[in-house]
Structure 1
Amino acid sequence: MVASQRLYSIDRLRGLVIILMALDHVRDFFSPTPFWPEDVSQTTPEWFFTRWITHLCAPLFILLAGTSAFLREQKVGKIAMSHYLATRGLMLVILEVTIISFSWQLSTTPIVFLQVIWAIGVSMIVLAALIHLPNWAIAIFAFGQIVLHNLLDQLNQGDMGFAYASLHFSAYFPWHSSGWGAFVAYPLIPWMGVMAVGYLLGNWMIQASNERQKKLVWTGVACIVIFLILRAVNLYGDPVPWSEQERGPVYTLLSFLNLAKYPPSLLYLLITIGPGLLLLRWFEKVPPVGDSVLLLFGRHPLFFYLIHIPIIHLLAMAYAHFTWGEMPSLFGAQPYFPPGYEASLLRLYLAWISILILLWAACHYWDQYQQKKRLVRR
């Protein structure tokens, strides 16, 4: 029964993360804003928190990937798990630079987007080697990346080259005069460390439920408290300090919460992973009744990811051409907004809910198909 609850909690949290991820991507296509939603000088609290809540997605998605790797290893052993991680990671990188990059653009634009799936794929390949090390060595690797990587921020000056950018600097890099190039959206440091932490977290998930839940709560609270202290003193942990805003105390709060994601700062990870651990504990305590949507999405994260971008993109194109005659876009050299276009939170949330219903139907069909395949194999 404990194992069942544990798996439910991981699937439910992953399902919640996926739903929030869809919100962010629907915003990209259905209601892009002429300002960054995190830009405290231009945003509103509604736009800010619509974007901010989706910050939970990447850290928890990658953390849980590491945890799932540990739990799978308990069944198959280290050698088989190492092989699985390496091959699965390579497959994810290939998917990122082919199908997923094309889905974002739906054109022959020769730009490769290196985003969260690339970061997960490479992190899996690295984890394939790390799992053969003792836990203390894995912890040092993770600690070094997550806690110390902001020391590299001062090196982000000028053209550091693609190799460095892929590790710690978000930027576009042309490969050829014809326009081929890569946009590094998710530098690998500290995402590799986040997955390593998730792997270590797996050790807690096989412990007695009371002990595990205490550790999740105390660690989650500790992450939040450390975030509040470090952010308050503006000493270390994020490249952009917060400041008092002329627009009032609400916008000062937004400045306090506005954190670097590309790459994710130490403070960004503390305030996303901390609440994530509390949610994981909460999902363990609450019986999995009435949340079949979370469980369904959480069981099929890759299928969801592969289909949700083209579905959102195609539907947004159809809506935009019907409404304004052409598509607004943030993905070119300059943002473009057709005449008459205005960003709308109402349009964003209605589109998000409608698309989630469509994605639920697709995932339900896929789940039934997978269950039938398993029955045939038996």
Structure 2
Amino acid sequence: MVMTESEVIFEEQPTRDGGRIGIVTLNAPASLNALSLSMIVTLHAKLDAWANDVAVHAVWLQGAGDKAFCAGGDVVALYRTMTQSPGDEGEAAQTYFGAEYRLDHFLHHYPKPLIAWGDGIVMGGGLGLFVAADQRIVTETSRLAMPEISLGLYPDVGASWFFQRMPPGVGLYLGVTGAQLNARDALELGLADRVIPREARQDVLDALRNADYRYPQQAVRAVLRDVENRALAPRAEVMPRLDHLQTLTDAADITQVVRRIFDDPREDAWLVANRARLAAGCPATAHLVWRMLRRHRHGSLAETFRDELMLSVQCCRHTELAEGIRALLIDKDRAPQWAYTDVASVPEHYIDGFFMPLWDAETHPLADL
């Protein structure tokens, strides 16, 4: 049985015991499966229904096309609201980001095996979906990143929580440079669980249909373990450079961290690309990354999502996000005019404005998480 809801396709495939596997396909390949609000709402509703359907043994989440699992959120729609309906950007941001973070939190606590097929691009909001899954599969083509430094946003979708679970300094470095990770990095940093050849996708689905679901978690793990091939993973970028990255990020404030990254003399291609991304990126974003990591050093996932909702709404009320989207995705001139020219020139009071509370604990839209 197949049901199409605009940009999301739902399918239920029978298992040998009369049950079903739920298959979700994010079906917007032209935008690299970027998440629109309607996709988020539809996805949450269907996953909730499957969670309560005893015949559904497991859920498989994938992206359409051969380029991406999901490249992020549909920020172009937010841009239209910010530029065409001034004054409404706060409400639109609250609706969009509130729905997205509620979905991500739900997936982190999903009661059934949830398998994410992270082939190709897995970035921004797509990484938020991916890391929340129970079994997170990368392939030889996977590219993961939180590239918000280029947009004037900040790494959200729980990043201030999952960055904390990496070796010290690594999450900060990834956040301020938007560095891209491969399958080996994803495994070593705790963002993925399995490496499976992209050509084996249908074989995995067939094996899942024929599994013994008396013990669903064991069944899924057994299937994935049988086809996993970690030898396919490319050479790691992060862990071989761990000592160096920790040296770069070992500073008392974000201005010093950025200075250390820029002063790094290594001509290593991966490090050079990261420096260039930081140099072109939004100076305010670097400050937001620093603040959020400090605020959530010991915080829960729910606390992180609540704080992110406040900050994301504030980002839509400031100028940086709209300018970053314009330069990268609308006019595509890649020449954003940021409010400040460099990280050192961003005043503390400007960043303080992003953290002005919008709700109290009782009225927060995500208070029930």
User: The TM-score by the shorter chain falls in which range?
Assistant: under 0.3
Higher relative CO (CA 8 A, sep ≥ 6), structure 1 or 2?
1
- TM-score w.r.t. the length of structure 1 is 0.27
**Greater share of strand residues, 1 or 2?**
2
**Greater share of helix residues, 1 or 2?**
1
- TM-score w.r.t. the length of structure 2 is 0.28
